[in-house]
C-alpha cells in the first residue's frame, strides 16, 4: 500500500515539474519579446506568479534549497514587474539559469540526494546584487487619480496604471454584469476580446448585481483605441464602455467621469455581504486581496479549470494497464484458434458461429481500449522542444553566435517514454548545429548570409511514425575533412575513400571518434556523441539520416515509431525460431524466386517492382540451421501420415498424406519468402522460411544478457504461449546497408 506521504511527494514533484516547464516557456516568450521590443507585462507577471507558487510548494514539502532560490527570484521579479529595474540581458540570464537549476534541484530531491550545490549559492549571490539598471521614473500623471481607487489597487496594478498613463494611453471604464455560474468563461472571453486593444489593469466588484446570483464589475482598462471602436469591439462581451477624461483647467478628470459614480465609491464603505464569498467561489478575485493575491487571479482561474479537465497519471500505472491489454490480446488470439477448431467440426457449426460473433465484439472493444490507453500515453513533443529552445539560447551565447530557432509541429504527439529518451539525442544534435554548422556573424556577412543564423526544428506525423527534422543554414559538412578523419582513425582505407558514395561519407559522422573540427571546445569537437545519438535513436526503434550541402546547410532527419507499448507485427518463422517484425516497418511480403537472386559486390540482390532490393537471409544472420529444421518438419509430416507404422517406399520416394513424395515435401518446405522492411527511403529484403500471420503484440524488454545484442528490440508472447523475438528493423537495415552485414558471404550457403 502506498503511503499518503509518498503520494503527496509524488504530487509535489509532478506539480513542481509542470511549473518549471511552464516557466521555461514563459521565459522563451519573454526573451523573444525583449528582442522584438514588445514586452508584455502579463508574461512577467506570469513568471512572478509561477515562482511565487513554486516557493509555497517547496516550503510546504521541505525543499529548502528550492524555496530559498524562489524567494530571491521572487524579489527580482517583483522589482521587474513594478518597474524598479529594467529588463536586460543580464536579468534574462539569471532567470534562465534559475530554471535550469530548478530542474537539477528537483532531480536531487527525487533521488534523495542532499549533496552541496555550489552553483545555487553562486546564483543566490548574483540575485542579491543589482541585477539590472534602475528604471527611469514616470512623468507626472495627466490624470487626477482618485485616492479611493488607489487605496484598493495592488502595488503592481498602480504601477501598470501609471505606466500606461505615462505612455499616453487613454483610460476607460468597462462596466459588466455576469452570472456567478459563468463568470470564469465570461471574464476569459472579455480578456481575449480586449487584449488586442490594450491592457486591463484591474477588476473591481461594485456589489450592484441584478440579483444574488450575479455580480457587477467595474474594469479599468488602458487603450489607444478610439471610444467608438472599443465600444463596438467589447459590446459582444457585454461591456458598457466609458472614456475617463484627462485633467483639464477646471481640475476635472478623475477616474470616474462626471455624472457617474466613482469606481472606488462602492468600496469605501466595504463590499456588501456575500460578494466576497461569491467571488471567492469562482476563483476570480478577492474583495480585499493582499499585495500579490490580485496578481494570482489568472493563475487561479486556469488552475481550477485544469483540475477539472486533466488528471495526472503515473506512467507505470499506464504500463500495467498496457500489460493487461496485452494479456487480453493473447486471449483474443486463443479465441480465434478455438473458433477455427469449432468450424472444422461439422456438428458444432452453430456454436462456432455464436462464438465468432462474440469474438468480433470482443475484438472491437479491445481495439477501442487499446487505442484509448495509447492516446493517454501520448504527449506533445513541445515538452522536449521547449528545453531545446533554452539550450539554443545558452549555447549560441557561449559560442558568440547569433541564432534564431524556428519551431513548428511542437503539438505532434508521441509516446511519453519516447519523449523522455529523446531529450539528450536532440540536444546533442542542436549543439552540433550551432558549433559545427552556424558560422560566426562576421563569416556569415562575408559570404552574403544574414548575420543571424537559423535552425529550423520541425516535427510531423507520417503514418505510424513521427519525423523530426533539425535543419540549419550554416556551412554544411566538409566531406574532405570527414574523409581525412576517417583515414587517420583507420575507419576506412584509401581505396574505400575513392569508391565511397557521398551519402556514405556523410554517415561517417556517426562513427565513434570522427569529427571535422580541429579544435576542441566545451561545446563539441571530440568526436564523441553522434555515434551515441545514433545508438539511442536505434534503441527507440528509429533511424537518423543526414543530408548536407556545402555553404547551404545541414539537415538531420529522425524517424521514430509513435509508440513502443503495443504494436501490430508480422509473425514469421526462420528455421525453428519465431520472429515478430513491426508492421510499421513492413512494406510487403512476396515469395522468393531463388533463380532471380544475383550477386553484386558481394551482396545478394533481386529486382522487385523495377527497383533493386538487397537481401538479408535471417537464418545466416542469426546462425540458424534451416536444413536440420527442414528434415525435422518432413519427418514430423511423414510420421503423422504413417500413424507410427512402417511405410513402403514409393516410386520417386516416400509419399506423405497429400500424395507428394519426400522430394515434393522438401521442395515445398524449402520455399522462402521476402519481407520488404523499410525505414524512411531505405529498404531491405528479409528472407524468412514461413509467414505465420499478423498479430498485435506487447513488447517485453530483454534481460541484461541480451539487451546489448543488436537486431532485437524485445520479445513477445504469442497467443499460443510461444515466444517470439521482436526484430529491430531500423537497426538491421542500418547495419546491413552500411557495411555491417554479419551474413557470411559463403557461396555454399547462399540459398540455404
Q: Give the C-alpha separation, 254 to 275, whole Å.
A: 26
Name residues whose C-beta falls within 8 Å of residue 567's C-beta, 6 or more positions apart in sequence. Answer: 561, 582, 583, 584, 696, 697, 699
Task: Tell me the C-alpha distance between 195 and 189, whole Å.
Answer: 10
Instruction: Work out whether the CA dihedral 32, 30, 135, 401 comes out positive or negative.
Output: negative
Residue 444's Cβ-count burial label (10 Å; 0-12, 13-18, 19+) is buried
Q: Which of 561, 589, 618 is the last residue of a domain?
A: 561
> Under the phi-then-psi rule, with left for phi > 0, alpha for psi from -120 to 50, and beta for the rest, what region is 693?
left
- Rounded to the nearest 10 degrees, how much is the dihedral formed by the CA atoms of 66, 69, 71, 74? -120
- Residue 595 CB contacts under 8 Å (≥ 6 apart), including other chains: none
What was the pLDDT predicted at 365? 77
| 566-574 and 577-582 beta bridge pairing | antiparallel
Q: How many domains is the chain built from?
A: 5
Q: What element of type H or E holds 560?
A: strand 553-561
Q: How far apart (Å, rounded) are the C-alpha atoms in residues 30 and 87? A: 10
Residues 287-317 have pLDDT tens digits of: 333 333 334 434 433 433 333 345 566 667 7
| pLDDT of 430 above 70 | yes
Of the ranges 442-446, 517-521, 650-654, 748-752, the best mean pLDDT one: 442-446
Residue 35 inside a domain? The answer is: yes
Among residues 617, 653, 625, which one has the least CA distance to residue 638?
653
- How high is the mean pLDDT of the chain? 76
pLDDT digits (tens, 9 = 90+) for 128-176: 665 555 555 555 455 666 666 667 778 788 888 888 888 888 889 888 8
Distances (CA, A) of 191 to 167, 196, 282, 464: 21, 9, 16, 40
The answer to whether residue 459 is domain-embedded is: yes
pLDDT at 256: 44
Which neighbouring-strand residues pair with 25?
none
Average pLDDT over residues 194-209: 81
Question: To which H or E segment does residue 94 belong?
Answer: helix 89-111
Same domain for 577 and 677? yes
pTM of the predicted model as reported, rounded to 2 decimal places: 0.60
Reduced to 3 states (helix: H, G, I; strand: E, B; else coil), residue 37 is coil
pLDDT band at residue 208 using 50, 70 and 90 as cut-offs: low
Is 551 in the same domain as 579?
no
For 356-379, what is each residue's pLDDT tens digit?
777 787 777 777 777 777 777 788
Q: Is 413 or 214 the better-scoring residue by pLDDT?
A: 413
Q: Are 398 and 523 a contacting pair, CB within 8 Å? A: yes
Q: Are residues 429 and 516 in the same domain?
A: yes
CA distances for 503 relative to 484, 718, 738, angstroms: 16, 40, 10
Task: Check whether residue 601 and residue 743 sit in a common domain.
Answer: yes
Tell me the pLDDT band of 644, cut-offs 50, 70 and 90. very low
Rounded to the nearest 10 degrees, how much is the dihedral formed by the CA atoms of 422, 424, 429, 435?
160
Residues 550 and 602 in one domain: no
Let me know if residue 137 belongs to a domain: no
Whether residue 164 sits in one domain with residue 263? yes
Residues 302 and 340 placed together within one structural domain of the fold: no
| 162 phi/psi in degrees, rounded to 5 | -65, -35
- Is 421 inside a domain boundary? yes
Which of 309, 335, 364 is the C-terminal boundary of a domain? Answer: 309
Q: What is the pLDDT of residue 156?
A: 81
Which residues partner with 144 through β-bridges? 254
Query: Which CATH number goes with the domain that contains 550?
Result: 3.30.565.10
pLDDT (0 to 100) of residue 598: 93
More confident residue, 114 or 279: 114
Distance, in Å, from the CA atom of 135 to the CA atom of 88, rounded to the nearest integer, reads 11
CA contacts within 13 A on the Cβ side of 107: 7
CA dist 612 and 686 (Å) reads 14
- Angle between helix 183-194 and 297-309 (nearest 10): 120
Once rounded to an integer, what is the mean pLDDT over residues 723-737?
86
* Chain centre distance of CA 552: 28
Helix, strand, or coil here: 689?
Answer: coil
Q: Please give the helix or strand (H or E) that residue 55 lies within, else none.
A: helix 41-60
Is the per-residue pLDDT at 642 higher than 70? Answer: no
- Host H or E run for residue 302: helix 297-309
Predicted pLDDT of residue 364: 79
Look up the domain containing 605 and give its range.
567-643+652-749
Q: Which residues contact 85 (CB under 8 A, 6 or more apart)?
A: 76, 79, 91, 130, 131, 132, 133, 134, 135
pLDDT tier, 5 (very low <50, low <70, confident <90, very high otherwise) = low
| Euclidean distance between CA atoms 48 and 44, whole angstroms | 6
What are the DSSP E strand ranges found in 477-552? Answer: 543-549
Backbone angles phi, psi at 214, to 5 degrees: -130, 165
Q: 613: which strand partners?
A: 606
User: Per-residue pLDDT averaged across 569-584, rounded?
Assistant: 91
User: Integer distance in angstroms from the first to the last C-alpha of the chain?
Assistant: 56
Q: Rounded to whole angstroms, how far apart are CA atoms 399 and 431?
A: 10
* 591 and 686 housed in the same domain: yes
CB of 172 closer than 8 Å to CB of 227: yes
DSSP state string for 334-362: HHHHHHHHHHTSGGGHHHHHHHHHHHHHH
Angle at 519 between CA 514 and CA 525, to 5 degrees: 40
Alpha carbons 66 and 46: distance in angstroms, whole number: 19
Quick one: which of 442, 437, 468 has its CA closest to 455? 437
Dihedral, CA atoms, 594, 600, 602, 604, nearest 10 degrees? -30
pLDDT bracket for residue 4 (50, 70, 90): low
| CATH of residue 578 | 2.30.30.40
Q: Is 605 left (phi over 0), alpha (psi -120 to 50) or beta?
A: beta
Q: What are phi and psi of 40, to 5 degrees?
A: -100, 115
**Chain center to CA of 399:** 27
| Residues 527, 504 within the same domain | yes
- 311 vs 204: CA distance, rounded Å: 33
HEC per residue, 136-192 = CCCCCCCCECCHHHHCCCCHHHHHHHHHHHHCCCEEEEEEEEEEHHHHHHHHHHHHH
What mean pLDDT is predicted for residues 508-530?
65
Answer yes or no: do 350 and 391 share one domain: no
Q: Indicate which CATH number applies to the domain containing 282.
A: 3.30.70.1110
Are residue 156 and residue 291 in the same domain, yes or no? Answer: yes
Higher pLDDT, 490 or 632: 490
Task: Using the 3D structure, point to which of 534, 561, 588 is the last residue of a domain.
Answer: 561
**pLDDT reading at 687 higher than 90:** yes
- How far apart are the C-alpha atoms of 687 and 694, rounded to whole Å? 17
Please report, for the domain that includes residue 60, its CATH number: 1.20.120.160
Determine what percent of the chain is predicted with pLDDT higher than 90: 16
**Higher pLDDT pick, 235 / 675:** 675
Exposed / middle / buried, residue 716 (Cβ in 10 Å: 0-12, 13-18, 19+): buried
Domain-located, residue 616: yes
Q: Are residues 285 and 303 in the same domain?
A: yes
- Is there a domain that residue 136 lies in? no
- What average pLDDT score do residues 168-187 get? 85
Residue 452 pLDDT level (bands cut at 50, 70, 90): very high
Burial class for 23, CB neighbours closer than 10 Å (0-12, 13-18, 19+): buried
Amino acid at each position: 500500500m502506498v503511503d499518503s506521504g509518498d503520494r503527496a511527494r509524488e504530487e509535489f514533484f509532478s506539480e513542481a515539474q509542470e511549473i518549471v516547464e511552464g516557466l521555461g516557456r514563459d521565459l522563451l516568450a519573454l526573451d523573444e519579446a525583449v528582442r522584438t521590443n514588445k514586452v508584455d507585462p502579463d508574461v512577467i507577471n506570469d513568471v512572478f506568479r509561477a515562482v511565487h507558487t513554486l516557493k509555497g510548494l517547496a516550503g510546504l514539502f521541505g525543499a529548502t534549497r528550492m524555496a530559498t532560490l524562489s524567494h530571491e527570484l521572487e524579489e527580482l521579479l517583483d522589482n521587474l514587474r513594478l518597474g524598479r529595474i529594467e529588463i536586460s540581458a543580464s536579468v534574462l540570464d539569471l532567470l534562465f539559469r534559475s530554471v535550469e537549476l530548478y530542474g537539477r534541484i528537483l532531480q536531487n530531491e527525487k533521488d534523495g540526494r542532499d549533496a552541496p550545490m555550489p552553483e545555487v549559492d553562486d546564483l543566490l549571490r548574483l540575485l542579491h546584487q543589482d541585477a539590472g539598471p534602475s528604471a527611469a521614473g514616470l512623468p507626472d500623471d495627466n490624470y487626477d487619480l482618485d485616492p479611493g481607487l488607489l487605496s484598493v489597487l495592488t502595488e503592481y496594478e498602480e504601477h501598470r496604471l501609471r505606466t500606461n498613463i505615462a505612455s499616453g494611453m487613454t483610460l476607460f471604464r468597462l462596466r459588466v454584469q455576469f452570472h456567478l455560474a459563468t463568470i470564469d468563461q465570461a471574464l476569459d472571453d472579455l480578456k481575449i476580446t480586449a487584449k488586442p486593444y490594450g491592457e486591463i489593469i484591474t477588476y473591481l466588484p461594485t456589489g450592484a448585481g441584478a440579483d444574488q446570483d450575479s455580480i457587477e464589475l467595474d474594469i479599468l482598462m488602458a487603450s489607444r483605441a478610439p471610444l467608438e471602436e472599443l465600444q463596438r469591439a467589447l459590446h459582444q462581451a457585454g461591456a458598457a464602455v466609458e472614456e475617463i477624461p484627462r485633467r483639464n483647467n477646471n481640475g476635472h478628470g478623475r477616474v470616474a467621469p462626471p455624472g457617474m459614480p466613482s469606481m472606488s465609491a462602492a468600496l469605501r464603505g466595504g463590499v456588501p455581504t456575500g460578494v466576497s464569498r461569491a467571488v471567492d467561489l469562482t476563483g476570480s478575485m478577492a474583495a480585499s486581496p493582499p499585495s500579490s493575491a490580485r496578481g494570482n487571479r489568472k493563475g487561479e482561474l486556469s488552475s481550477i479549470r485544469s483540475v477539472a479537465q486533466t488528471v495526472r497519471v503515473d506512467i507505470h500505472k499506464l504500463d500495467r494497464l498496457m500489460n493487461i491489454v496485452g494479456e487480453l490480446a493473447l486471449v483474443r488470439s486463443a479465441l480465434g484458434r478455438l473458433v477455427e477448431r469449432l468450424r472444422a467440426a461439422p456438428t458444432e457449426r452453430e456454436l462456432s458461429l455464436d462464438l465468432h460473433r462474440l469474438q468480433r465484439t470482443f475484438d472491437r472493444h479491445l481495439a477501442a481500449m487499446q487505442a484509448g490507453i495509447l492516446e493517454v500515453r501520448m504527449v506533445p513533443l513541445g515538452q522536449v522542444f521547449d528545453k531545446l529552445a533554452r539550450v539554443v539560447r545558452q549555447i549560441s551565447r557561449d559560442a558568440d553566435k547569433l541564432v534564431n530557432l524556428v519551431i513548428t509541429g511542437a503539438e505532434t504527439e508521441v509516446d511519453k517514454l519516447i519523449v523522455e529518451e529523446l531529450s539528450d539525442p536532440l540536444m546533442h544534435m542542436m549543439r552540433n548545429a550551432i558549433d559545427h554548422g552556424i558560422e560566426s556573424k562576421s563569416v556569415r556577412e562575408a559570404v552574403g548570409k544574414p548575420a543571424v543564423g537559423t535552425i529550423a526544428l520541425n516535427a510531423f506525423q507520417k503514418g505510424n511514425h513521427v519525423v523530426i527534422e533539425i535543419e540549419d543554414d550554416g556551412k554544411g559538412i566538409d566531406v574532405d575533412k570527414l574523409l581525412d578523419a576517417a583515414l587517420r582513425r583507420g575507419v576506412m582505407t584509401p581505396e574505400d575513400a575513392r569508391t565511397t558514395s557521398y551519402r556514405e561519407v556523410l554517415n561517417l559522422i556517426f562513427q565513434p571518434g570522427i569529427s571535422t573540427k580541429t579544435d576542441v571546445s566545451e561545446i563539441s569537437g571530440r568526436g564523441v556523441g553522434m555515434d551515441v545519438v545514433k545508438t539511442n535513436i536505434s534503441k527507440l526503434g528509429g533511424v537518423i539520416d543526414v543530408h548536407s550541402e556545402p555553404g547551404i546547410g545541414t539537415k538531420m532527419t529522425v524517424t521514430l515509431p509513435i509508440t513502443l507499448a503495443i504494436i501490430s507485427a508480422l509473425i514469421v518463422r526462420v528455421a525453428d525460431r519465431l520472429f515478430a517484425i513491426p508492421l510499421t516497418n513492413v512494406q510487403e511480403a512476396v515469395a522468393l524466386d531463388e533463380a532471380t537472386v544475383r550477386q553484386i559486390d558481394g551482396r545478394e540482390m533481386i529486382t522487385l517492382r523495377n527497383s533493386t532490393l538487397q537481401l538479408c537471409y535471417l537464418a545466416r544472420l542469426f546462425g540458424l540451421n534451416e536444413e536440420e529444421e527442414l528434415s525435422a518438419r518432413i519427418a514430423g509430416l511423414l510420421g503423422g501420415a504413417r500413424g507410427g507404422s512402417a511405410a513402403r517406399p514409393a516410386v520417386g520416394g516416400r509419399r506423405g498424406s497429400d500424395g507428394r513424395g519426400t522430394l515434393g515435401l522438401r521442395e515445398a518446405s524449402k520455399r522462402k519468402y521476402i519481407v520488404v522492411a523499410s525505414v524512411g527511403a531505405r529498404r531491405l529484403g528479409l528472407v524468412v522460411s514461413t509467414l505465420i500471420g499478423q498479430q498485435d503484440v506487447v513488447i517485453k524488454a530483454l534481460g541484461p544478457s541480451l539487451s546489448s545484442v543488436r537486431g532485437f528490440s524485445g520479445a513477445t508472447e504469442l497467443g499460443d504461449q510461444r515466444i517470439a523475438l521482436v526484430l529491430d528493423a531500423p537497426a538491421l537495415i542500418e547495419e546491413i546497408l552500411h557495411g555491417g552485414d554479419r551474413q557470411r558471404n559463403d557461396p555454399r550457403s547462399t540459398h540455404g
